[in-house]
């Protein structure tokens, strides 16, 4: 679908600078990721799955911009909470993208849950959509567990609570940007997308 010798210019559905920075770090010169046009409002995410929400956003941005659009939907799935917060990750604390409230509720919900039962994963689904309706779907995940208290001031969202497997006990909030990008759900989804497009093996 893409010419490996020519960067693919894509309009992002997200205005989250943290997400844009993480994706650009992985895409490198293969994909030129443009920010969502200021005049395009946020898309209502009312699907019941990550891929559904990502597709809603990708379709809206492709139609509004007339360009190839990239949207992702990500969330945290906690096994002891039957997969919650899942698609509600951004609104788990009752507000709209209130990271502190989301983390506070998660800590409360897991109060008293043993470390061995606090397994979780971050999941990202990406939908790359052309104005003519063609699309590519890619996904990535990162296994880990939820810490009993917040640690670190890096990253965003649930990062200060999420301890990825194989990370010597540090949360994503304690990882450098490069360390997180080496193993994160979002970077793995980006790599999967590059592979689907023929930019990587």
Query: Active-site residue numbers?
Result: 73
Following DSSP, what letter does each residue of 111-130 receive, concatenated? TT--GGG-EEEEEEEEEEE-
Give the distance between the most distant pair of CA atoms in the chain.
54
- Vertex 145 angle, CA 182 and 114, to 5°: 165
Sole residue written with tokens 């990370």: 167
CA distance 192 to 143: 17
Rounding to the nearest 10 degrees, give the CA dihedral for residues 6, 190, 172, 58: 110
E-strand stretches of 45-95: 69-78
How many Å is the Cα radius of gyration of the chain? 17
Query: What is the spatial distance between Cα 137 and Cα 92, in angstroms, rounded to a whole number?
Result: 26
């Amino acid at each position: 679908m893409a010419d490996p010798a020519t960067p693919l210019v894509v309009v992002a559905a997200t205005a989250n600078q943290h997400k844009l920075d993480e994706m650009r770090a992985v895409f490198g010169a293969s994909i030129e990721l443009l920010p969502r046009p200021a005049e395009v409002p946020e898309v209502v995410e009312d699907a019941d799955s990550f891929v559904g929400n990502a597709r809603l956003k990708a379709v809206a941005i492709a139609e509004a911009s007339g360009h190839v659009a990239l949207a992702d939907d990500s969330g945290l799935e906690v096994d002891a909470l039957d997969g919650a917060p899942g698609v509600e990750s951004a609104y788990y604390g009752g507000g709209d993208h209130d990271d502190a409230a989301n983390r506070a509720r998660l800590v409360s919900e897991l109060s008293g849950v043993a470390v061995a039962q606090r397994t979780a994963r971050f999941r990202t689904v990406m939908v790359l959509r052309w104005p003519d309706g063609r699309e590519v779907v890619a996904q990535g995940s990162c296994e880990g567990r939820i810490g009993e208290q917040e640690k670190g001031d890096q990253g965003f969202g649930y990062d200060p609570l999420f301890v990825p497997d194989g990370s010597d006990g540090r949360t994503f909030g304690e990882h450098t940007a490069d360390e997180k990008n080496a193993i994160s759900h979002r970077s793995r989804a980006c790599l999967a997308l590059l592979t689907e497009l023929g930019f990587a093996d």
